[in-house]
Amino acid sequence: MTRISVQPLEEDRGILRETLNSLYSLFETTREILKEAGPDVGASHNSVGGIAIAVLKPWFETFYHKVAF
């Protein structure tokens, strides 16, 4: 993966907003794919939806707490 959101964000380098936008874009694309595929793809933890949630949720939890909205 080459997205900025999966690269280490050093204290004095990188732009947190850019990282969050990249991550949100990944989330939004995944969400659209799951929406088009229907509820069956998210029925279990081993499904496409379950895997997507397992992968994306930790990233959101990590970055969400670094930004004051």
Q: Which domain holds residue 22?
A: 16-64
Q: Is residue 39 part of a domain?
A: yes
Q: Is residue 2 part of a domain?
A: no
Structural domain tally of the chain?
1
Q: Which amino acid is at 65?
A: H
Give the model's pLDDT for residue 39: 78
Q: Which residue has the higher pLDDT, 67 or 35?
A: 35
pLDDT in tens, 13-61: 667 677 777 777 877 888 888 888 887 877 777 887 888 878 877 877 7
30: buried, middle or exposed (CB in 10 Å: 19+, 13-18, 0-12)?
Answer: middle
Q: Is residue 9 part of a domain?
A: no
Q: Is residue 42 part of a domain?
A: yes
In angstroms and rounded to an integer, the radius of gyration of the C-alpha atoms of the chain is 14
Q: What is the pTM of this model?
A: 0.53
**Cα angle: 35, vertex 28, 19; to 5 degrees:** 165
Q: Is residue 8 part of a domain?
A: no
